[in-house]
A and B are shown apart, each in its own frame.
Chain A
Amino acid sequence: MIRAVGRFVGWAVSGAVLLTAYPANRLTAQDTTAGKVVYVKWCAGCHGETGAGDGEAARYMLPHPRDFTGAIYQIRSTGSGELPTDADLLRAVDQGLPGTAMPGWKTRLSDRERRDVVSYLKTFSTFFADTSTHPKALDFGRAPSGGSGAEALRVGQQFYDSIGCRKCHGDLSRGDGPSAPTLKDDAGRPIFAADLSENWRFNGGGSAEDIYHRLRTGLDGTPMPSFSDLLEQKFLTEEQLWRVAQYVRSLSPAETPTVRDVIRAPQITGPLPRSPGDSAWGRVDSYWFPLVGQVIRKSRWFAPAVSGVSVQAVHTRDSLALRVVWDDRSQSPDSSWLTHIGRVFAALAADDSASAPPEPGLWPDQLAVQFPLTIPPGMERPYFLMGNATAPVYQWRWSSQGGAVAGVARGLDRFDPAAGGGTVGAQAVYDHGQWRLVLARALATADTAHELQVRTGRAIPVAFFAWDGSNGEHGTRMAVSTWYFLALDEPTPARVFISPVIAMALTLALGMLVVWRAQRPK
């Protein structure tokens, strides 16, 4: 009896809670009114009051915020051109869109607020009012097992080639295919083919399931088509399309790279590896650092193409070498990207820093590694954005058009090369959408006034800058990192190995002495 009452009360309470939370399962006037409040407060800044993707911040974003008025959504579970389901919209709101400015709102807004805002943004398009076409998720089936096996990946790669992925995404999938420079979205804005080796930046998520869903649905509003028709046309089977997804997943690391602040440079006994292809690099740990657009000083840059660098370092008794590897869709300067540059400038035309967007030009790719001019005794470091007049920085600046120079920067506008360009050597290789660059220098140099004197056993601040010339990047239009550290391992002093041996020998001798004394007849 008591249990029955308890159950009844339980049902009543949960029913009331449900009713309060969701007055009806369908979209109601209350939902959209409440949704509007949330929308105006949190969304309109980018997506605009009218949902046209033209909020105040939109002009500083590439990719641009979604225009809700056309009801065209990239990340869906439905067929090409179909409306998204409520669950699709909620997912985008909850998790955000990696690789874009859209954050996830799951922890910032309540369940109720997120559902309300989804209801509200459906009012921006009349397509959602048509109830005769209820969007339905495709049947995606389940991933076939053995997805990471060699045979599965072979099949996946075979179909990656045969369904033409390389056309945009490139032979080695770094988004550098032959059609990559021409790609634009439905609004005519430039859009990059995804670099498939960076799955943490995939708009719809980086798992094999996510990738399979994108292959089936396409990304509406972008050049990425749906491959669902090919299943009906028996061009390939569902399993084979799953293999493509699993293959694409295998192109990215198993875990999203995390940032470790200190680059450890071990001392090696062989010759310094000065070539990017030297086998010595295979034995050295790699450190990944994210880069972001330089938006502090004019001219600002809101569309950096280089999203991060991987750095390795080694040293010998007298020299240091850094290998910096980063993905870049073009070996600049490359005139086939000129139209793309024009589109980038047009899309960001409202950058407040310049009266008119610059003319597209043929700029090189560049990379800069920055250190303080002298190793600071404490934690104080020069301003990370190329120092200033009182606290200059020491930089290695490499360009795809003319090697590297070392010198001293005193802010973004002033760089004085060291005498004779300094002593830094550079070797670079461009391979299928990736630069691999080795910069090398003696630890100690003659020009101590203009060059950092590198020492072992110290935490040396280091920062990175990158320019993709074919994305219009030059001057202050660049990608920047913050300060990290480089630490050259100290050579182990000989006493470290000898002292224990001596100690052990002494202990043994003492012990024997004690035993001998004890056993000596009195």
Chain B
Amino acid sequence: MNRRLFSVIGGALLLAVCTPRDDSTARAAAADTVTVEDVQAGATISGKVKFTGARPTNPKIDMSEEAACKAKYPTAPTAETVVVNANGTLSNVFVYVKAGLPAGATYPAPTTPVTLDQNGCRYHPHVLGIQVGQTLNIKNSDPLLHNIKAKAVKNRPFNVSQPNVTATPTVRTFNAPEVMVPLECNVHGWMNAFLGVLPHPFFAVTGADGSFSIKGLPPGTYTIEAWHEKYGTQTATVTVAGAAPKTQDFTFAAH
């Protein structure tokens, strides 16, 4: 079923790319549904999330109960509550468009799934985003029991078990926007992750260089929010016109 859907959409994309197209008719036909081309055509907001102040020490995780996980780390693993990069930026910040998109615009869910992996008794990634209706594949790479619990409030929650390395991932989708859905494992109290569910594709998570980039925004004025699990949220208002890129940095201070 999934494969067939994939080939149909892939074929459609291929056609779209190969056929010299008339922009105006394509737009008209798509009405309020925003296509991949639209997104590629828009403006980009990018920036860095900086961190100031003393770097907090994340608590060490005692994995002695789970030898198979412990063996995956050369030194004692720590929690990932505050991950400050070498360049003084902050990882695991979820940056997204909170408001400002055209009223009534809908964004079809990508057919590519988002994957969450449980490996070494930690979640990978620790912070992630997904679109409403997009598939979340939950994988277990550890040869032991995890339960994966989504403590959703606007969506229905779930709590399912994965007793061993998964042959087939557990599959779930979300119906409503929700920033953020906490994910946790109760077998291993230290395991947590955060999932941002949005009705559009305009979100990013900062990585090892602390940067983010939100592409394809139509002209407009947007509220951009940066969310961090410990330091809360910050917002900025950014106006884009045409395809001119804009830069918006955020700074979180230690407290």
- B248 contacts A by Cβ under 8 Å: no
The digit string for A383-416, where 1 denotes a CB below 8 A from any CB of B, is 0000000000000000000000000000000000
Size category, B interface: 20 to 34
Contact A235 B187 (CB under 8 A): no
Residue B23 is within 8 A (CB to CB) of chain A in the complex: no
Contact with A along B129-152 (1 / 0, CB 8 A): 000000000000000110111111
Provide the A216-234 mask, 1 if CB < 8 A to any CB of B, else 0. 0010111111111110111
On chain B, the residues within 8 Å of A257 by CB distance are none
Residues of A within 8 A of B151 (CB): 186
Residues in A neighbouring B106, C-beta threshold 8 A: none
Determine whether A82 belongs to the interface, using a CB cutoff of 8 Å to chain B.
yes
CB contact list, A147-206 vs B, under 8 A: 162-164, 167-168, 178-179, 182-184, 186
Within 8 A of A (CB), among B188-237: 188-189
Among the listed stretches B8-16, B47-55, B107-115, B160-168, which one makes contact with chain A, having 4 or more residues with CB under 8 Å of it?
Answer: B160-168
Q: Is there contact, CB below 8 Å, between A225 and B160?
A: yes
Residues A70 and B145 in contact in the complex (CB < 8 Å), given A164-B187, A226-B161, A229-B170: no
Task: Say whether chain A's binding surface is mostly helix, strand, loop, or mixed.
Answer: loop
Contact status B159-A218, CB under 8 Å = yes
Please report the C-alpha to C-alpha distance between residue A186 and residue B149 in the assembled complex, in whole angstroms.
10
Say yes or no: is A80 at the interface (Cβ < 8 Å to chain B): yes
By a CB distance below 8 angstroms, the chain B residues around A233 are 166-168, 170
Q: Are B160 and A82 in contact (CB under 8 A)?
A: no
Bound-state CA distance A224–B157 (Å) is 13
Cβ A81 vs Cβ B164 within 8 A: no
The answer, among B160, B167, B189, for a CB contact under 8 Å with A179, is B189
**Is B187 a contact of A227 with CB atoms below 8 Å?**
no
Task: Pick the residue among B145, B153, B170 that contacts A167 (CB under 8 A).
Answer: B145
Task: Pick from A184, A228, A229, A235 the residue with the most CB of B within 10 Å.
Answer: A229
Most B Cβ at <10 Å: residue of A167, A183, A228: A167
Which residue of A has the minimal Cβ distance to B138?
A229
Q: Does B186 contact A (CB under 8 A)?
A: yes
Known: A230-B163, A233-B166, A233-B167. A81 touches B158 (CB 8 A): yes
Inter-chain CA distance A251–B75, complex, in Å, is: 41
The yes or no answer to B60 lying at the interface (CB within 8 A) is: no
Q: Which residues of A contact B188 (CB under 8 A)?
A: 179
Asked if A485 lies at the interface with its beta carbon under 8 angstroms from chain B, I say no
Q: How far is the CB of A183 from chain B (nearest CB, A)?
A: 6
Specify which chain A residues have a CB less than 8 angstroms from the CB of B164 in the assembled complex: 162, 235
Contact B156 A81 (CB under 8 A): yes
Q: Which residues of B contact A221 (CB under 8 A)?
A: 157
> With A and B bound together, what is the CA distance between A340 and B161 in angstroms?
23
Least Cβ–Cβ distance between B164 and chain A, in angstroms: 7
Residues of chain B contacted by A459 (CB below 8 angstroms): none
Which one of B166, B170, B189 has the highest number of Cβ atoms from chain A below 10 Å of its Cβ? B189
**B161 x A164 contact (CB < 8 A):** yes
Q: Does the CB pair B189–A182 fall under 8 Å?
A: yes
A183 proximity list for chain B (CB < 8 A): 186, 189
Contact A235 B160 (CB under 8 A): no
**Cβ of A437 under 8 Å from chain B:** no
- How far, in whole Å, are A80 and B150 apart by their CA atoms in the complex? 10
In the assembled complex, B22 has its CB within 8 A of some CB on chain A: no
Q: How far, in whole Å, are A383 and B187 apart by their CA atoms in the complex?
A: 44
Q: A179 contacts B186, CB within 8 Å?
A: yes
User: Of B65, B153, B156, B189, which is in contact with the most chain A CB atoms at under 10 Å from its CB?
Assistant: B156
Instruction: Select which of A72, A178, A229, A234 is within 8 A of B161 by beta carbon.
Output: A229
Across the interface, which residues of B come within 8 angstroms of A232, CB to CB?
168
Residue from B150, B152, B160, B189 within 8 A of A226 (CB atoms): B160
Task: Return the CB mask of B164-176 against A: 1 if under 8 Å, else 0.
Answer: 1011101000000
Determine whether the beta carbon of A168 is less than 8 Å from that of B163: no
Residues of B within 8 A of A184 (CB): 186
Chain B nearest CB from A86 CB (Å) reads 17
| From B158, B163, B170, B189, contact of A164 by CB (8 A) | B163
> Taking the complex as formed, is A484 at the interface, i.e. its CB lies under 8 A from any CB of chain B?
no
The answer on a CB contact under 8 Å between A167 and B157 is: no
CA distance A234 to B166 in the complex (A): 11
Q: Quick check: is A127 within 8 A (CB to CB) of the other chain? A: yes
Residues of A within 8 A of B167 (CB): 233-234
Closest residue on chain A to residue B167 by CB atoms: A233
Chain B residues whose CB sits within 8 angstroms of the CB of A225 once the complex forms: 147-149, 159-161, 186
Given A163-B145, A182-B189, A183-B186, are A224 and B159 also a contact pair (CB < 8 Å)?
A: yes
Supposing A164-B187, A168-B187, A235-B164 touch, asked if A226 and B145 sit within 8 A by C-beta, the answer is no
B161 to A: closest C-beta gap in Å: 4
Within 8 Å CB of B152, what residues of A? Answer: 81
A82 in contact with B156 (CB, 8 Å): yes
| Nearest CB in chain B: distance from A88 CB, A | 15
Query: What's the Cα separation between A225 and B150 when bound, in Å?
Result: 11
A230→B186 contact, CB < 8 A:
no
A127 to B149, CA, bound (A): 19
Chain A residues in 8 Å Cβ range of B153? 70
Closest-by-CB residue of B relative to A235 is: B163
A168 to B186, Cβ gap below 8 A? Answer: yes
Closest to B189 in A: A182
A83–B153 Cα distance when bound, in Å, is 13
Complex alpha-carbon distance, A226 and B161, angstroms: 6
Provide the residues of chain A in CB contact with B162, threshold 8 Å.
Answer: 229
- Measured between alpha carbons, how far is A130 from B145 in the docked complex, in Å? 34
Query: What's the least CB distance linking A248 to chain B, in Å?
Result: 15
A220 touches B161 (CB 8 A): no
What's the Cα separation between A11 and B101 when bound, in Å?
A: 60
Residues in B neighbouring A222, C-beta threshold 8 A: 159
Flag if B157 contacts A220 (CB, 8 Å): yes
Does the CB pair A226–B159 fall under 8 Å? yes
Cβ–Cβ < 8 Å partners of A227 in chain B: 160-161
A64-83 interface code vs B (CB 8 A; 1 in, 0 out): 00000010100000001111
Chain B residues with CB below 8 A from A127, complex form:
156
- Complexed CA–CA distance, A233 and B160 (Å): 12
Instruction: Give chain B residues whose Cβ lies under 8 Å from the Cβ of A218.
Output: 159-160
Q: CA–CA, A234 to B65, complex, Å?
A: 27
Give the shortest distance, in Å, between A74 (CB) and chain B (any CB): 11
Taking CB atoms, residues of chain B closer than 8 Å to A228 are 160
Q: List 16 A-B contacts (CB under 8 A).
A: A80-B159, A80-B160, A127-B156, A163-B163, A164-B145, A183-B186, A223-B149, A223-B186, A223-B187, A225-B148, A225-B149, A226-B158, A226-B161, A227-B161, A234-B167, A235-B163
For the complex with contacts A81-B157, A83-B156, 6 further pairs of A-B residues with Cβ separation under 8 Å are A162-B163, A179-B188, A186-B157, A220-B159, A225-B186, A226-B159
